[in-house]
Amino acid sequence: MLAQIEEEHYVKLDELISLCRSRLRKCDEDLIRRAFFLCYRAHSAEKRASGEPYFYHPVEVAKIMLEEIPLDDVSVAAALLHDVVEDSDYTIEDLRDEFGEEVARLVEGLTKISGIFANREIKEAESFRKMLLSMIDDIRVILIKFCDRLHNMRTLDALPPHRQVKIATETRDIYAPFAHRFGLGKIKIELENLALKYLDREAYDDISARLALTRTERIAYLEKISLPIQKELTKRGFKFEIQRRPKHIYSIYNKMRQQNKSFDQIYDIYGIRVILDTDDSSDCFGAYGYITQIYPPVPERFKDYISVPKHNGYQSLHTTVIAPGGKMVEIQIRTRKMHEFAESGIAAHWRYKEKVTSADEGIDQLIKWARDLVANANTAQDFMEGFRLNLYQDEIYVFTPKGDMKVLPVGATAVDFAFEIHTEIGMHCIGAKVNGKMVSLQTRLKSGDQVEILTSKNQTPKADWEKFVVTHKAKLKIRQFLNETRRKEIEEGRNIWNKLVAKTKRLFTESDIVKLARFHGLPTPADFFRALGAKEIDSEKLLEEIEPKAEPKPEPKPENKNGVPPVTLDDFARQAREVHGLKADNSNDAVVISGLTNVAHSYAKCCNPVPGDDIIGLVTAGGTVKIHRRNCVNVNNEQILKSPKVVTVQWKPTATSDFLAGIRIYGEDKLGMTNEITHVIVKSEINIRSISLNAKDGIFEGTVILYVKNIEHLQRVVERLRKVEGVFAVERFSNN
């Protein structure tokens, strides 16, 4: 076996083994040697486009892997063997016999992926899908594939231009975003830069030339401004390293294009990275504090990815400071461990753990993400849409009531959140509470919001939801539901139609139906049947239309709706005035106004205090006293509370008169709800002044005005109402 190997090629093996020794914690060197020899033999007849022996390629792929994402010895063997099955007579079974199950499985995954790319007939989307599926099997497959692609990109010069463009496009559109999603920061940057080199050579050359031209000046500048940071952090006892770095070419290129700027106009081309040798992430904030005492920060550019990491696990503090000369410099602060994760993402797990297990949360999430993406896609288009939506959107971080964090794209609504928690929750969501307040379903969420979704089993997705949701999952599920509903309604409509036609004994052609649809203002027969199936077209009336001789039916009488008109704030205020009037001080009063006797007082209509509320009095221009709740927005500010117009007011413990209080109830719009609410209130021995319920989209908002004795009385009934099934929220009704 050894005799077959030319002397010069031993060098490659030696390099590889020594790299294994330095980069892997443990390594079966015999396995590597055997894989190397088999790789050599299998590819011995081949040459690369560059004229080099083909086996250089798998060896380089293995080396890139060891340098960039050192996984384990099995992966090194798989990297060496990744093209063997495709390019030689060796089969997977041969490899299984020779190297065992694990290596064989990895090579099989890699072979499948490359087979997909070799077959030009297969739609691009389909190949991503397979890529994801193989990743779910074993994440190492895709990591090795990145190294394979990186080596191909590094050696792309040897290929003809049309192949270069194809491979570079694929790299930019698929591999780089994937690498980003895996947190492989370094590989992603190199892939992007290399892709740009083949896709827009002119721009690539221009930017690199300009970067080179300004390099000396830039390094001198960054060094100058790093010095005070270095001094201060050393003085404070930090152990750290400062890296000075330019933005990478592709991101400068993007910035120039997106913001239509010239190279000189991009101010944050240079940056400083402070890597702290500590395990305590709070040191990053400490360092941030000292650095921003030296250079003033631009507040809106501060980003804390430590407390809330990016989707791909990235952690770091980012800030932009104004350095001498008025230049803006981006500073990133992170611990050594965070840095390793930023550079090699998921692969960094191998450095901190013996092996990635299913208990590893980061990897679990990635695999779940991929699984969802594959499982939810019906067509290649669906899949591509999901892929793009998932990889390129900016993110917000919102929380469940239990404090679990959910990552959503910017612009996500309560409905997106509901679908993110569970499809069933999304399908039946009826309303939401954001930070405790009821909001509509299309409310856009912000980072930090705590969101509770309210559901009803009677609720179904609505057509307008599709217009405001932004996540792929929500869009897809809503569309599926609406399509399915439409299909059923059309079917139902056809059945109704057939029965009607049977009654008329007339014959209808397709064009009769088209006319009939137009007559009802509907574009197609399908729309016509749907409207009929959804009972939007009355079948009795339709029968009259198509059978003119049928007896005319009497006009139905409009239904008498026994609803109570909604109560407005003005009504409420008027009612409050009627009950309390404007009283002069006498012994029956509910309040004692300190320091004042015989002064007329009234209860402020903006907040309607009831006995037990924390209250204050405000002397009005007319010399009377208005009694407000202390937390009423109209009085609750420093200036008013300090003014001499404020008088202390207390409830008399013996107060027995009835006070008006308003509450708002939100709940599910279902039969018998009014009854149940009324019942609960009456059982609490409270009189209702008025009650009104307004329903919309399956949710009702009820306004109830009650006579209560005091705050405990009110709270008791509020508590009971909250327990009614289908009630989501009960709030005190007031102006604030």
Q: Active-site positions? A: 86-87
- Residue whose CB is nearest to Mn ion in the complex, by number: 148
Supply 368's token pair. Answer: 């779940």
Q: In the bound complex, what is the minimum distance in angstroms from residue 195's beta carbon to Mn ion?
A: 17
* Contact positions with Mn ion (CB under 5 A) in 632-651: none
CB of 83 or CB of 668, closer to Mn ion: 83
Neighbour count for residue 101 (Cβ, 10 Å): 9
User: Rounded CA gap, 438 and 666, in Å?
Assistant: 8
Decide whether 74 or 269 has the Cβ nearer to Mn ion.
74
Nearest approach, Cβ of residue 48 and Mn ion (Å): 10
DSSP output for 36-89 = HHHHHHHTTT-B-TTSSBTTHHHHHHHHHHHHHS---HHHHHHHHTTTHHHHSS
Interaction between residue 452 and Mn ion (CB under 5 A) = no
Closest C-alpha to 728, from 353, 459, 379: 459
Q: Smallest distance, Å, CB 57 to Mn ion?
A: 6
Q: Rounded to an integer, what distance in angstroms lies between the CA atom of residue 255 and that of residue 13? A: 43
Binding mask 595-634 for Mn ion (x = CB under 5 A): ----------------------------------------
Least distance (Å) from Mn ion to the CB of residue 129?
Answer: 21
Separation between Cα atoms, residue 491 and residue 668, nearest integer Å: 30
Q: Looking at beta carbons only, is 83 or 343 nearer to Mn ion?
A: 83
Give which of 194, 192, 185 is closest to 153, Cα–Cα. 194
Name which of 148 and 420 has its Cβ closer to Mn ion.
Answer: 148
Of 47 and 506, which has the nearer Cβ to Mn ion?
47
Q: For residues 243 and 272, is the Cβ–Cβ distance under 8 A? A: yes
User: In this chain, which of 60, 72, 138, 148 binds Mn ion, going by CB under 5 A?
Assistant: 148
Q: Which is nearer to Mn ion, 59 or 333 (CB)?
A: 59
Half-sphere exposure of 621 (CA within 13 A, CB side): 0
- Candidates 75-83, 132-140, 221-229, 541-549; binding stretch for Mn ion (CB under 5 A): 75-83
Q: Which residues touch 358 (CB under 8 Å, ≥6 apart)?
A: 364
Q: How far is the CB of 127 from Mn ion (least distance, A)?
A: 15
Q: Which stretch binds Mn ion (CB under 5 A): 76-84, 200-208, 225-233, 465-473?
A: 76-84
Nearest distance from residue 148's CB to Mn ion, in Å?
4
String marking each residue 78-117 x if it binds Mn ion according to CB under 5 A? -----x----------------------------------
Rounded least distance, CB 100 to Mn ion, Å: 22
Residue 332 forms beta bridges with which residues?
273, 318
In whole angstroms, give the CA distance from residue 366 to residue 132: 11
Q: Which is nearer to Mn ion, 42 or 591 (CB)?
A: 42
Q: What share of the chain is helix, strand, coil (3-state, %, to 5)?
A: 50, 15, 30
Category of 535 on φ-ψ map: left (φ > 0), alpha (ψ -120 to 50) or beta: left
For 240-263, letters b (16+ CB in 10 Å) and e give bebebebbbbbbbbebbeeeeeeb
Q: Is 126 exposed, middle or buried (CB count within 10 Å of its CB: 0-12, 13-18, 19+)?
A: middle
Cβ closest to Mn ion, residue 148 vs residue 330: 148
Least spacing, CB of residue 86 vs Mn ion, in Å:
9
What are the Cα distances from residue 213, in Å, to 12, 206, 225, 333, 398? Answer: 37, 10, 20, 28, 45
Total residues interacting with Mn ion, rule: CB under 5 A: 2
Question: In the complex, which residues of this chain contact Mn ion (CB under 5 A)?
Answer: 83, 148
